[in-house]
Structure 1
Amino acid sequence: MSGYLLRRTGQSVVVLAGVSVIVFALVHLVPGDPVRLALGTRFNQETYDALRERSGLDLPLLQQYVSWLGGALTGDLGVSFRSGDTVASLIGERLPATLTLAFASILVALAIAIPLGTVSALRPRSVVDRIATVFSQIGISVPEFWMAIVLILVFAGTLGWLPTGGYVPLTEDPAGWLQRLILPAVVTGVVSGSVITRFVRSSMLEALGSDHVRTAQAKGLPARQVFTWHVLRNALLPLVTVTGVQLAYLLSGVVVVEIVFSWPGLGQLALQSVQARDYPVLQGAVLLFAIVFLVINLVVDLLYTAIDPRIRR
């Protein structure tokens, strides 16, 4: 296990190094001058030259990359051109909201997908199976912003049960935190749950039709034991994979949902930095997204070895 972990960690480091080069290059290919945009109507040539020199934009690109990478390795991601705050502090301010929405959404998705997909696979062509199929099609096809607007109109506008949006930290107002979390978590949870439901159903059907399951049934093992030890465990691999992908996607910021519900997450921060050509913030945010995907992929691979020990070999 330790050797496998070391190999996967080494591969992740190499991938992260490549991502850092690509991110830095793509960000600097975005048209527009961030210093000019930051100055706005206060522009004058002396201030402009001084800010470019202070931010290091007058240096060659290779030297800028080396300087940025060296700072990133020590936790210094630079300073925002727009606000003057450190990138680490800006990301730290948005991180709690992103973590809250991501984990609440994945819990909603799993609460929908696992029972619905399982019952659908155990009873193919039944009413439940048809409901699961229709639900997954609707959840995948309907745009997130439309679903969000409908829920706001119904539960906030018509019924008045929930606020239209915003974010309150859990430590300040637990009730307000929960009320503002419900609608965005349901929207993103339904979309992710629709995807996961289809994977749960297909993986369950494949496991139910395998030879070892039929052999266990022929031996007269109880149905619950066959399902737990032979069906569920073999169906977990696809479920773990798609859940990891959905969680990484949610942790990277759901931009549309964050904008509709005024949710101050990392996705909204990345969008604002693109609009303002705020290189340091955009580079820091995208680098964090890459780290999130790599870490979750590593965790998923380790879970694979726990579920199916044959993968270690």
Structure 2
Amino acid sequence: MKIRKAVFPVAGLGTRVLPATKAMPKEMLTIVDRPLIQYVVDEAKEAGIEHFVFVTGRNKSVIEDHFDRMYELDATLSARGKTAEQEVLARDQPAAGATSFTRQQAPLGLGHAVWCARDIVGDEPFAVVLPDELVLNRPGCLKQMIEAAEKLGGNSNLIAVEEVPGHLTHNYGICGVGARQGRTFEINGMVEKPKQGTAPSNFSITGRYILQPQIFRILETQERGAGNEIQLTDAMIGLARTQKFYGVEFEGERHDCGSKAGFLRANIAFGMARADLRDGLREEMKRYLEK
């Protein structure tokens, strides 16, 4: 099963990290020295994704600019002999025609955002990557999922899952665990934010999906669910009646950058993972904690 396209829902308002996101898209907030959106696009590139589909909203044009070439900056760097910086920018820039942008226009939920990409994705399986969730690992989470999908074959749908403490399952979408093959298992049920004590497992649904195109037909008529929004989980429950879903326990450290504490934690974790920054960052934190 070849996965060529990935959908990045980037129309959200980022209310959990206001006021930083009043004028700046949350996807452009930086972890160390790169915006969030660059990390997830890099993850998709590593996984073999060829076409990057961004579902945007108002005040998100800077994301499109980020993935375009800036001739003035390029000329300035060239004149100053900053070839290393030029090489970084060239490496991050997608190939011509490899990006598409479409508008969600109304904040109707993740399911609606995915549905907005239907004409660009077409009739083929695709990935969905939530930009405010980063996974620190090589190979990346999406590559691990695509490798699992290739082994499963057929019309398989896959969800990246992570164990959470049992007393917190009511905060997440939770999936039931069926037959297992290593770190992949058949999902035998899904529920969005179950009441305490009723969750089928403690495996939470995270921000990486591989879905078959039939999900679009379900989303087209999907009624609003939790939060009065069109929920992707509800549509996946519908699709699970005719197609198999699998959970993939990915290897890596997940960071929820949509919260302020998670954003700060991610900066420390990704900084410590950099050989060129690790020692200096450790010393700065040590000095601060000794105050």
Q: TM-score, normalised by structure 1?
A: 0.23
**Greater fraction of residues in helix:** 1
More strand, by proportion: 2
- Bigger radius of gyration: 1
Higher relative contact order at CA 8 Å, sep ≥6: structure 1 or structure 2?
Answer: 1
